Structure formats: C-alpha cells, structure tokens
Amino acid sequence: MERIITKIAADFKRDAKEFLAGSRRDIRAAEEFFVPRIGEMVTELLTAVYEEADHELLEDRVGRRQAGLVVERRRVPRTILSQLGSITYKRAYYQRQDGTYCHPVDEIAGVEAYERISARVSEELVDAAREMPYRKSSRVVTNGAVSSQTVMNKIRRSSPRPEVVERVRVPVLHVDADEDHVKLHNGSSTYAPLISVYTGIEKQGKRGICKDVFHISEYGRGSDDLWETALNEMERRYDLSDTKIYLHGDGAAWIKAGLGWLPNCTFILDRYHVNKAVQEAVSGIDVQSGSEYRGSLLSALREGNEEEFLSVREKMLACWPDREESIMEHTDYLLDNFQAIHLWHTDPEARNGGATEPHVSNVLSARLSSRPMAWSKDTLRRFLPILAAGSCALDPREDTASVSGAPEFRIVTNARRKAYRRFGLPDPDRAVQLPGATGKVTPLYNALRPFIYAWPCSPSTT
C-alpha cells in the first residue's frame, strides 16, 4: 500500500515539475492540466484500498468461518462511474450460511448491488434532468456514458432532499395553488398540482420577487393528502398560531379544499383568472361596447356591488343573445367568487400575493409541458416533488442485502480498519524529496515553498 502512495506522490511531483516548467501557469491551465490527473490518482488509490480490504478478508480465515462466509469466486471485477472517473477493483464473492450471496467489499466502497454509477453521479443526473432532456443530462454529466433509460431509472429512485430550516413566526403567509396540464404516454392528459408558499412579494425594480418561497407538488394523491403535506411542511418552517394565511388560486375544488386545512385562511381569486374571465365574457362583442362592458364589470367587482354586476350582465344578454352561453358561464364563475375578488381590492395585504401562473411556468411547465413531450405516471410521481423542491437524494435499494449479522459485520469492519491503517500516508519528505522542503534555492523551490509551509509559518516556527 505504501508503494502505491509513494508512486502517487512521485507522479504528482513529476506532474508539478512539468506544469511549472511550461509556458502557461495561469489558473485555467492548472485546471486543464491537474484535474484529470488528480482524478486518476484518487481512483488508483481507492482501487488499492478496496483490493487491500478484500485481501484482508481472504486472509482472515478464522473470522470468515465464524461469520459463515464461504468464498464462492475470487477477483470478480467491479467498475463504478464516479465524479473522479471510472473506479475498477476486484473482490471476492461469498456465500452466507443462509444461502444468500454478498460482496462485502462493495459495502466498504458504499456501492449497492447492480449499480454502475455512484450515488453522487446519480443525483447529478437527476439534478440535470430537472433542466434538460434525459439524453442531454447524460451528455452533460457523464459525457454520454449512460443511457436515457438509466437517467429515468435514477429519477424513479430519487426523492426531494429535505431543506434544513429554523422554525420562525411570521404575521402573513401567501399560498398560491395552481396546476400544469401534462400529456401522458397513452395520449391522454393529466394535471400536475403545485402549491407555493411565501411571505409576500418584494419589488426589485419593475419585477416582483416572492420572498422565502418554497414549493410542494405531488402526483396521484387526493387533495386532502396534498394539503396535509403542505400544512406539515408549513408547520415545520413556521409557527402558524398567529399567522394570517391568504390562499390564491382559480377557485378549483382541490384548491378550495385547502381552506379546510390551513388555519386562519382566506381565499383570494387570482387576478389572472379574474381578468381572463371578464375578457372571455365580453369576447365576440364589438370593440367599443366590449371595452365599456368590461370596465363596468370590473368596477362592480372592485366596489363589491353584486346588484350592479347582475345589471350589467342583463344588458349584455339583451344586446347579444347569441353570446348567452359564454356570458353566463364566465359571469357565473365571477359571481361564485365575488367576495374573493372584492377582498383583493379592500385588503392591501391580499394584493401582496397571487403569482400562481409564474410559479407553474417556472417550476413545472418549463420542464413538463413547454415542449412537445409525454410522461408516464410512475415518473411523474417521483419527478414532481423533485421539481418542486429543486434538489434530490438517491433512495437506497430495497433489495440490497447489507452486512447485518454481528460476526459478519465484525469481520468486514476489521478488514476495513486494517486496509485503512496500511493506507496511512507516510511523511512526504520520506516518500519523495519535494523541492521547496529542503535543498538548493531555485525558482521551482520558491514556487513550491508556500504549499509545503503555509505562510507565515516556516520549519523553525511550526
């Protein structure tokens, strides 16, 4: 093992000399020169560590007998694609007393059965897939070394990474709820719900930014389950005992179900849907009359005058009976949410929220429906929470056999400890004689000196 470390140190010394002797010594040149070499050195080192642990297991015959491990095959190769590059090592295959089989060294390496890529690379593939197609995710993360199917499989094995937060009190919370319409593989369509929670909108120039926003999205669950999840996450972040909550949305049944779950909550009809309904009600009418009726309807909504609103509708029906179905449909929608619209005008805090469409567009639509594509329900169940959270973690395989028995755990732990002890790094001065530690003062000596003795320390002061 020490020979491996000595060789790695000698290789680094040679590479450092080669780099410093070159014409370019800027940071970009250093990155291009050293990054691939460092990856090769680390993968070589890890290979040596894991194979040394395998050797220790094979040598511990008494421990293997007590643990009930019988060698089935030796030197079975395993290759894992990692951020450092491909790591290939050889290890023994054992049969347990219960007839099952295992590779104990794989557990030392933290590698699950049947996996070809590391957990971190798997998570990077899923993170990239939040922004781009599967195939492009593979190209960006692994240079195309894995297939699109592999990327999808990693999504189906991932969950949102919980955000560490400190529970605080806030006077007001705004909750936006809306959905994205997504096409399925079978040609039908479905909807993907999104709940966004934030403390208000802050102006940055002409733009409004939602403060402390977080998102929740789940597919295939009922509205009560979705709102229960949302409430649990809100209570994890906030003390809601004295918090006023405004629920913004288009008035769909699943959105209004949140009123039964969120404490001290008031529903506000989203301004986008108010304006859309008014515009649809006057569509098909000549421009001048339509503009007048549109202003009259909005004025009645703003003042909370339901009688005036009904009077304007009657005039519209009398003048354009052929538009009766459209007028009735959209004005009924506004009447069903009349109080929720009027509150937006009378309560200043209610106007400090309501950004449902931008949330859906940025969090879901940009990946799920902005381009022609189709999804499976299984993928949506896993992918929606990840898109909402903005991060992911790989779930462990349920079928992975772990080293659980006490004798077996003990022998593997001992092998790991012995391998790491032999892995102990010798003093650099004894491994290789690096310029800058001792010797003649040369340009290379002066260049390496700060890396060996951190400024302002020197051999006499450390």
Q: Average pLDDT over the chain, rounded to whole?
A: 86
Residues 15 and 362: their CA atoms lie apart, in Å, by 46
**Residue 110 confidence (pLDDT) above 90:** no
Specify the pTM: 0.79
Contact in structure between 406 and 214 (CB atoms under 8 Å): no
Residues 382 and 384: their CA atoms lie apart, in Å, by 6
- Contacts by 26-31, CB closer than 8 A, 24 or more apart: none
pLDDT band at residue 81 under the 50/70/90 scheme: very high
Residues 13 and 276: their CA atoms lie apart, in Å, by 69
Q: What is the tens place of the pLDDT at every residue in 188-211? A: 999 999 999 999 999 888 888 999
pLDDT band at residue 8 under the 50/70/90 scheme: confident
Q: What is the tens place of the pLDDT at every residue in 407-419? A: 666 777 777 777 6
Residue 34's pLDDT is: 85
269-276 average pLDDT score: 92
Contact in structure between 326 and 278 (CB atoms under 8 Å): no
Contact in structure between 378 and 402 (CB atoms under 8 Å): no
**Residue 429 confidence (pLDDT) above 60:** no
Structure tokens at 435: 């310029």
pLDDT band at residue 278 under the 50/70/90 scheme: very high
Indicate the domain borders of the chain: 2-114+400-431, 119-155, 168-392
pLDDT band at residue 430 under the 50/70/90 scheme: very low
Of 458, 421, 419, the closest CA to residue 50 belongs to: 419
Query: Between 400 and 102, whose confidence is greater?
Result: 102
Residues 84 and 350: their CA atoms lie apart, in Å, by 51
Contact in structure between 408 and 107 (CB atoms under 8 Å): no
Residues 47 and 108: their CA atoms lie apart, in Å, by 12
Residues 57 and 71: their CA atoms lie apart, in Å, by 10
Of 350, 349, 330, the closest CA to residue 340 belongs to: 350
Contact in structure between 162 and 432 (CB atoms under 8 Å): no
Residues 139 and 148: their CA atoms lie apart, in Å, by 10
**Residue 72 confidence (pLDDT) above 90:** yes
